[in-house]
Structure 1
Amino acid sequence: MPKNANVLRNRLALTKTHKLSFAGVAAVGAASLALSLVPAQAQTSAKTVSAAPVAFSQSATQAAKASVTDQAADADKKAAAAAAKKKAEQERAKKEAASRSAQRAKIAKAAAKTYPDNLDGWIREALDIMKKHKIPGTYHGLHKNIMRESSGNPKAINDWDINAINGVPSIGLLQVIKPTFDAYHVPGTAKSQYDPVANLTAAANYAADRYGSIDNVNSAY
């Protein structure tokens, strides 16, 4: 082979080798560049990912605080409503109690029967007391005996019969002597023979014990 041909072949081989070397260097450089870029992007992505949980955590904390605040506000409202309801119920109960008390007072006042201060009133009051104590007798039975004994004078006194002679005169509407009045006095009435109602009820009580009823008395008894 001529010398020039060998030289030419060596140049061609060198040129091919250089190209391959340059290509290898370029490939390595590209790979290095790629490797150098990937961590940077990965770091940026990591930063972005790591930032998201922080933002979420702060948002969750604020939401939790808001929820606690709302719950506390709701609890306060409920407590205030319950207190207001309880107070209203107490006020209503007081008003109802006062109303019932006033109603009872009206009923009691209406039930407190009054009687005129005269013979008719005395007889009617005596009859109500007799009824309460289960002492028999009627308006007519009392009235007829009153008219015979005292003519309706509650201060009438017999100072001439045997009772007067014995020192225990007959006194009042139905002319009752003191021992009889004391023995048959009806509780709740005055302890005086001159009191018209006390006199009538004691005499009616005595007549019921001895004759069965004041209605059965038609003469001195």
Structure 2
Amino acid sequence: MPSKGKHRRPKVRSLSRGFIAVGTGGAALALPLIGATTAGAAQPAAAEKAATSAAAPAAAKKAGPTTYSVVAGDSLSKIADAHSVSSWKKLYQDNREVVGDDPSLIHPGLKLTIGAKAEPKAKAPAKATPASERADRSETRAAVAKTATYTNDLDGWIKESLAIMAEHGIPGTYEGIHRNIMRESSGNPMAINNWDSNAAAGTPSKGLLQVIQPTFAAYHVPGTSMDSYDPVANITAACNYAADRYGSIDNVNGPY
């Protein structure tokens, strides 16, 4: 007879590892035990994630147009890229009323609307000039025409333009006009730019102060020639435009 051996009672292992034994008629299956705290935490986390995902498109839809102030070194292309606008042309179309006819002429401080079409600038209603004041101006112009003579050169063109500008309340000085003329055309009244974006669009810059035809027509000063190559007409129209956009031709120190 075999000798009696020592029999150890098998230890019952704890279910702390997450398994539970289920009887199946003689066999035992070990099933994972899921803690209530784990299951309970998973459901709110999933719900929160779903809610966040659903809210994201809604938040994107609510985002409205914004205003951007142009700084030195900016271009429409650079601004469009930085604000995820589809192209600089779209940004220009939305802000054409603000930018003007030339998309390359944006200046620091200009307010652009991102994500919507900019509101057109409100123009102040023109004030009616009293009949007596109109008569005085007519007499003054007649007197000036009789007494003043101007040389047919750059000096004379600038001085004649300044006299006309004074009649119409357009600001500007001899130095400011002369400085910009020398930069834009070197004093050549027949100068024309056939290579920039304006020329590509069919409206090349012309004359002493390199004005495109739409700008010349919009800011033409009555009493001057309708020819944009005419030196006096070109200067006065350009100064009228500069006064509207920058306060005075004296404030222009680069392409405008």
The answer to whether 1:173 aligns with 2:193 is: no
Work out whether 1:129 is the aligned partner of 2:132. Answer: no
Measure, in 2, the Cα distance between the counterparts of 1:170 and 1:210. 17
1:194 aligns to 2:195 (yes or no): no
> Are residue 160 (structure 1) and residue 231 (structure 2) matched?
no
Verify: 1:219 aligned to 2:251, yes or no: no
Computing the radius of gyration from Cα coordinates, the structure with the larger value is: 1
What TM-score does the superposition give when structure 2 sets the normalisation length?
Answer: 0.44
Compute the RMSD of aligned alpha carbons. Answer: 1.6
Counterpart CA distance in 2 for 1:127 and 1:163 is: 28
SS at match of 2:159: helix
- Kindly provide the amino acid, as one letter, of the partner of residue 250 in structure 2: D
1:143 pairs with 157, 161, 178, which one? 178
1:177/1:110 CA distance change after superposition, 3 Å: closer
Structure 1 residues 209 and 151, CA gap change in structure 2 (3 angstroms)? same
Number of residue pairs matched by the alignment: 115
Q: Which has the higher contact order (CA 8 A, sep 6+)?
A: 1
SS at match of 1:215: helix
Counterparts of 1:182 and 1:110, CA distance in 2: 24
Q: Does 1:184 align with 2:229?
A: no
SS of equivalent residue, structure 2 residue 202 = coil
- The alpha-carbon distance between structure 1 residues 165 and 187, as it changes in their structure 2 partners (threshold 3 A), is same
Aligned to 2:137: none
Structure with the higher fraction of residues in strand conformation: 2
What is the TM-score when the length of structure 1 is the normalising length?
0.51
1:119 corresponds in structure 2 to 154
Deviation at 1:181, TM superposition (A): 0.1
Q: Report deviation, 1:111.
A: 4.2
